[in-house]
Chains A and B, each alone.
Chain A
């Protein structure tokens, strides 16, 4: 693998897991593409190799990240009053986690968005003085008004857009439904912001809409989670900010080249969470398309690529897809490929070869189904279709147990009584707390990797 590492660019590597053998007439090629980025992050668990450690990764020496924290200040944040207090504390904790030199701003969100700090359409540069100033400003935050998240995002986009940085990130906290604008307004705001900055979204309490929060994180390539207990906010914000500070390279795209006559059936991120990417393709030259993956620190993600290739005779071999990682050239030139992997198709009449399923593909097919049946099961439960809910959630319990996804299994066990995990026999619990149900729904897309 070529080493493209430069001062602030981590090394990317691509591995492909697949069974390339197709039976006669077979057209569908499945592969798991594992992308790993090492050497650039500040908190990586992976040892640095070679001389790729960059001076830029030393905290306090960079100014190439900007973060905007959006805090919900709608009237509901005062019920109970601890919610607002915890949100203030959490934001303060996040600001403490900011690396010196990072550009930042705090925005309060109601039915409109307002700059809390530093104001004037600018970003502050993190140091002791600005951190203290920001925390002082947070004390003046009070609850009152409605919720129009689209306006918050547009303000964050304006603030971040002026910053001359490579990593642009938002952190959004909400406690209620997006009631004071239409879903179309929010969708338009997300479309406008997509690709311009990444954003993590958090729902606090249980009065917010799971699909809104996960939709924001999904569109802006960030994480979504529930913080049911407001007292947990500070720890969560700190973690989120650390994660943001670990990002080294932004706007990474997964580029898939496919041959003439082939079509991409689907592309989805399958680890650490399931994220459908198929519809987010932007064409990138002949037979190639880019799928956004956001910004990367020291991390590894898996993608499931399914390609339908034109049929070829037994004994033929072809390249079904070439998967590469692309980052834009800061100078505006041709994007640089960071690493690539090959997805192949080989037609054989050896049934043993063509019928075996690659363990990685099988595992992630199961994980994607797991996320899907949880969603279906919870929807069925809400709509009163308990038979369907039992069947779907039973299947989910079975999949979670078989794949070793213990976190999801635990969350499921709070919603159903598990009779036999192996067969997926469950009974719906009569009483389920809203927090448990929302936690399961929000985290249903979390996956585990193949047991080694």
Chain B
């Protein structure tokens, strides 16, 4: 990978812990933050709100009641790009030569290291928190090669240590174990020498699609990634772009949580891709997409589970997951969710207030909203993360929450699972972690956020989608 020039000179404080820095520092003296991966300092970018005009009818209030919004007819939304021109059909770009599918639900079979571009450098196998593995381990055999669509920007300082392992490249066609580097991998995915499970497709996934990007990682403490995401873009009937990000978190105590999250993310995404171009109001579309995702997860319960012999004590629990989605279309920002996965609004101009756009379906949130506990107390409780709403056949009553916003300034929507927000709960914390240039480099921004969660301990699967939201420039609507 191309080493990045340290840019510490531009920083007076560590972006990780606010510790003052000295010029020439490569790492923060306090927290060890790798300053070589810190993005460029923000350029002066004045916020432009005056005169931004969108002719979209007022969306229903963000009351969270889940009531569907009104139908939006096609042709009502004028769409222009920031220069005032008609928007092109959103360009689609994949991360690597293997063209990660738009939906993460159908990963290709295991690829040998070196060819799998979607295995990113932030994968966890060689992380310091995983004792018992050799230093050269890690599922990141791909970080040095094969990356066609983007330059891996290494949010994870550990990635640098991986390059040493690549010199021992396996002979073509042979899969060497990533854990011991000595044994070959049996067809069932375990090393014939040390027995260690090989990284799976889903252990670390990255996708960048035009202006939206997502990264998902297994984390450091879970043996598989039960999160899933989908990012995509389409066009409204008038040709203006609609960008979609969906993030789902499988419920670990249920059967096949990984299948549940993948099914939910892909079916919600497909539903939006289908309904938005037909002119359905985005809020209505989001509502319906959550229902579609719910029925996709429900149908998993009926299927006979694979490899049930290993999970007999989990048999009785229907597959379940959370969902959070965001759609940016025509000056409107629509979020929808069930469960405790969240969306945050971080304005590009950090002087403006960041905000959390979702309200958890969780025990802690209920305690707080009922006034029984303070937020600090509630989230310190071991029951904090018990969710009270989810997608799945055993959900009591599905109540999709949707909300519409009409931001008056550009910003980035952070769509994430609790694997991230546990390490940046408050909107202000999230804003601090998010690189200032996230709107322009969403994949990098998502990598940095995932890296933040892994640095914090990576106790859960971590999934982040970044959805930049642009406000048409001054005069765009009045020309």
Q: Which residues of A contact B (CB under 8 A)?
A: 15-20, 257-262, 287, 309-320, 322, 342, 344, 346-350, 356, 358
Do A348 and B196 touch (CB < 8 A)? no
Q: In the complex, what residues of B have CB within 8 A of residue A316's CB?
A: 130, 132-133, 196-197, 223
Bits for B199-233, please: 1 = Cβ < 8 Å to A, else 0.
00000000000000000001111111000000000
Identify which of B223, B309, B313 gathers the most chain A CB atoms within 10 Å of its CB. B223
B157 contacts partner chain A, Cβ-Cβ < 8 Å: no
B310 contacts partner chain A, Cβ-Cβ < 8 Å: yes
Q: How far is the CA of A322 from the CA of B220 in the complex (A)?
A: 26
Q: How far is the CA of A356 from the CA of B124 in the complex (A)?
A: 27
6 tightest Cβ-Cβ pairs between the two chains A and B: A259-B195, A319-B190, A317-B197, A313-B130, A319-B195, A312-B132
* Pick from A18, A19, A312, A349: contact of B196, CB under 8 Å: A312
Q: In the complex, what residues of A have CB within 8 A of residue B310's CB?
A: 16, 18, 20, 344
Q: In the complex, what residues of A have CB within 8 A of residue B183's CB?
A: 260
A257's nearest neighbour on chain B, judged by CB, is: B192
Given A18-B310, A316-B197; 6 other pairs, CB 8 A cutoff? A261-B194, A313-B220, A317-B196, A317-B224, A318-B194, A349-B459
Known A313-B129, A313-B130, A349-B221; contact A259-B191, beta-carbon cutoff 8 A: yes
Q: How far is the CA of A37 from the CA of B51 in the complex (A)?
A: 79
Q: How far is the CA of A314 from the CA of B182 in the complex (A)?
A: 22
A selection of 23 A-B contacts at a CB cut-off of 8 Å is: A17-B309, A19-B313, A257-B192, A259-B194, A261-B194, A309-B195, A310-B132, A313-B129, A313-B130, A313-B220, A314-B220, A315-B130, A315-B223, A316-B132, A316-B197, A317-B224, A319-B196, A319-B197, A320-B195, A322-B190, A346-B223, A347-B223, A348-B221
Do B309 and A15 touch (CB < 8 A)? yes
B131 contacts partner chain A, Cβ-Cβ < 8 Å: yes
* Pick from A15, A315, A348, A350: contact of B219, CB under 8 Å: A315
B63 contacts partner chain A, Cβ-Cβ < 8 Å: no
B36 contacts partner chain A, Cβ-Cβ < 8 Å: no
B104-132, CB < 8 A from A: 124, 129-132
Q: How far is the CA of A15 from the CA of B312 in the complex (A)?
A: 12
Q: In the complex, what residues of B have CB within 8 A of residue A358's CB?
A: 312
Do A315 and B222 touch (CB < 8 A)? yes
Q: How far is the CA of A320 from the CA of B224 in the complex (A)?
A: 17
Do B132 and A313 touch (CB < 8 A)? yes
Q: How far is the CA of A18 from the CA of B311 in the complex (A)?
A: 9
Q: In the complex, what residues of A have CB within 8 A of residue B44's CB?
A: none
* Pick from B195, B220, B252: contact of A315, CB under 8 Å: B220
Q: How far is the CA of A18 from the CA of B312 in the complex (A)?
A: 9
B180's nearest neighbour on chain A, judged by CB, is: A260
Q: In the complex, what residues of B have CB within 8 A of residue A318's CB?
A: 190, 194-197
B397 contacts partner chain A, Cβ-Cβ < 8 Å: no
Identify which of B124, B219, B221, B312 gathers the most chain A CB atoms within 10 Å of its CB. B221
Q: How far is the CA of A261 from the CA of B252 in the complex (A)?
A: 30
Main secondary structure of the interface of A (DSSP, over half): loop
Q: How far is the CA of A316 from the CA of B129 in the complex (A)?
A: 11
Q: In the complex, what residues of A have CB within 8 A of residue B194's CB?
A: 259-261, 318
Q: How far is the CA of A312 from the CA of B196 in the complex (A)?
A: 9
A157 shortest CB reach to chain B, Å = 38
A164 shortest CB reach to chain B, Å = 37
Known A16-B309, A349-B221; contact A315-B131, beta-carbon cutoff 8 A: no
A310's nearest neighbour on chain B, judged by CB, is: B132
B145 contacts partner chain A, Cβ-Cβ < 8 Å: no
Q: How far is the CA of A313 from the CA of B180 in the complex (A)?
A: 15
Q: How far is the CA of A16 from the CA of B188 in the complex (A)?
A: 15
B419 shortest CB reach to chain A, Å = 12
Q: Which residues of B contact A (CB under 8 A)?
A: 124, 129-133, 180, 182-183, 188, 190-197, 218-224, 252, 309-310, 312-313, 459
B58 shortest CB reach to chain A, Å = 47
Do A313 and B197 touch (CB < 8 A)? no
Q: How far is the CA of A287 from the CA of B180 in the complex (A)?
A: 15
Q: How far is the CA of A346 from the CA of B307 in the complex (A)?
A: 15
Do A315 and B221 touch (CB < 8 A)? yes
Do A314 and B221 touch (CB < 8 A)? yes
Q: In the complex, what residues of B have CB within 8 A of residue A259's CB?
A: 191, 193-196
* Pick from A310, A311, A317, A356: contact of B223, CB under 8 Å: A317
Q: How far is the CA of A292 from the CA of B162 in the complex (A)?
A: 45
Q: How far is the CA of A16 from the CA of B197 in the complex (A)?
A: 18
A317's nearest neighbour on chain B, judged by CB, is: B197
A21's nearest neighbour on chain B, judged by CB, is: B223
Q: How far is the CA of A309 from the CA of B190 in the complex (A)?
A: 14
Q: How far is the CA of A319 from the CA of B183 in the complex (A)?
A: 13
Q: In the complex, what residues of A have CB within 8 A of residue B129's CB?
A: 313
Do B313 and A356 touch (CB < 8 A)? yes
Q: How far is the CA of A310 from the CA of B132 in the complex (A)?
A: 8
B138 shortest CB reach to chain A, Å = 12
Known A259-B191, A261-B194; contact A315-B124, beta-carbon cutoff 8 A: yes
A255 shortest CB reach to chain B, Å = 14
A258's nearest neighbour on chain B, judged by CB, is: B195
Identify which of B130, B183, B196 gathers the most chain A CB atoms within 10 Å of its CB. B196
Q: In the complex, what residues of B have CB within 8 A of residue A317's CB?
A: 196-197, 223-224
Known A20-B310, A344-B310; contact A315-B193, beta-carbon cutoff 8 A: no
A433 shortest CB reach to chain B, Å = 44
Do B223 and A260 touch (CB < 8 A)? no
Q: How far is the CA of A344 from the CA of B223 in the complex (A)?
A: 12
B35 shortest CB reach to chain A, Å = 28
A305 shortest CB reach to chain B, Å = 14
A341's nearest neighbour on chain B, judged by CB, is: B309
B124's nearest neighbour on chain A, judged by CB, is: A315
Do B195 and A260 touch (CB < 8 A)? yes
B196's nearest neighbour on chain A, judged by CB, is: A318
Q: How far is the CA of A145 from the CA of B300 in the complex (A)?
A: 73
Q: In the complex, what residues of B have CB within 8 A of residue A262's CB?
A: 195
Q: How far is the CA of A200 from the CA of B243 in the complex (A)?
A: 75
B224's nearest neighbour on chain A, judged by CB, is: A317
Q: In the complex, what residues of A have CB within 8 A of residue B124's CB?
A: 315
Do A260 and B132 touch (CB < 8 A)? no
